[in-house]
Structure 1
Amino acid sequence: MLEIIRAEKMGFCFGVKKAVETCYKVSEEKEVNKYILGMVVHNKDVVKEMENIGFVIINEEDILNGKDPLKKGDIIIIRAHGTTSQIIEKLKEKEVKIYDATCIFVDKIKEMLIQRESVGDEIIFIGDKEHPEVKGIISFGKTVKVFKNLEELKESTLDISKRYSVLTQTTLNKNKFLEIKDYLEKYYSNAQIFDRICGATSERQEATKKLAKTCDILVVIGDLKSSNSKKLLEVALAENPKSYLVQNENELDLSLFSRDMKVGITAGASTPEDIIKKIENKIRGNFNV
């Protein structure tokens, strides 16, 4: 008999929920142009819904190059991942009405970076330098060294005479963080390490790890651009090689499932409940369960 089991923690996190709720609230304002800076959250289906309710998506590059359509009095929502200090200044110059939906955990890391630099520390940042969250946070710093993982960090040369503060992307894999922490504590006593991985991220990773061990196949639901969804897949694959990432029900390969399977379901922090339900229903419907 087919059994579908959800991870104990999955789906929308606090920051994503706040960003989406901000968009719905702002959408009620009439006779004003409404924009979102990039993907409000990393999920194409959510972004499409925002466009359906009246928002236009614009990107940072157009703002920096003066190619954006923004006019004085227009509304713009800053996505959950935040943005750079340069973009904030540009938006202020344009005198647009800013609704900041940046995740509180992202803001706290930014504030920590600024505070640690103010006392003379150089910053080591662990994360994907191409990710908008990381680009935004490090733009508020002066001397920031960014490393994707432990391997990159080992290849660098840190000055034992300097003081470093170590910060991370909110969605960093917890196990990878602990590897980096152990390495720095062993070789660089001049590096102070701050664990700022989002609590929701850690909970979802642990729940996924637990579920992956007990099911025949595990489906991670999330956008291919979502950092936390890709991290969930990484965690799942370490426990169960039959783990797959899909964005929505259209990407499901039903040939991977059988009637007697125990199917695990988890979802990234930007994945809405209706997509999760559609995937569950499609799997059940294939076996008339």
Structure 2
Amino acid sequence: MYSNPNDFSEYGRYESPYEQTQGPSDYAHPNYYAPNEPSVPSQEQDWQEQHRYNPYNPYSSQTPYQSPQQMEAYRDPTTVSGYTTDVGAEQREAAERGSVHEENKTEGARKRKGLAGIGGIASTIVAFLLKFKGIIFLLKFAPAILSAAVSIGLYSIFLGWPFAVGLVAILFLHEMGHALVMKIKGIPVGGLIFIPMLGAAVTMRHMPQNARDEAQVGIAGPIAGALTASVCLAIAQWLPHAPMSLLYSTPTWLLTIWAPLAYFGFFINLLNLVPVMPFDGGR
């Protein structure tokens, strides 16, 4: 049989145990097929203690088995938790959801009933006003209310609605100073109207009888405005020393609006004291 010794040379040559001890293979020799004799150490080996298996070391060659002395005794389970299912849990959850739903329905019905009661009271008041000269009352104050709403809307475009409301409130108190002195002097008050971007004005049914009354009516507005601006300034000066709980619970715009309102109130007073008509100083 032809055999090329260079064939499959890259895989190397395997040597059987027989070849390792007896030399090249001789398939006709009876010892070739005999099993290998187990190797026996020439002398007794020293006993070596095996280290405990470490499950956290994946490269350890030690066996994970433990001796019976190292194994813990078996203990029966002390509870059936995890082995059984609470068949009534779903029913209890459904009952709880149903009770919560019923409570929400009851609360919603109570709120709707309260709103209906408020609506009924408001309707009664409106009917009462319409029956007893309510139309005259509304017509008398409608120009002031509408003009104030228009002024707040225009001011809020440039200054924001909090400052716009405060500004209109200062103008209102300023004009109320004039109206109060008119009532004291017996001068009929015509009405109040806000003029967007210009201010406000309170009208008189007829002019005062003398210059003294006219001067007192004219100075009453700046006095009321000065008192209002002083209150705003006092609040602005007090807020830095207010309790922290109050500062944290109050909106930011309500904390920062008082100083600008005080400045505006004092500025309006100075402007109205200019001794030129139609300002208050011209009276």
Same fold by TM-score greater than 0.5: no
Higher strand share: 1
Higher helix share: 2
The TM-score normalised by the length of structure 1 is 0.20
Structure with the greater alpha carbon radius of gyration: 2
Name which structure has the greater RCO, CA cutoff 8 Å, separation 6+.
1
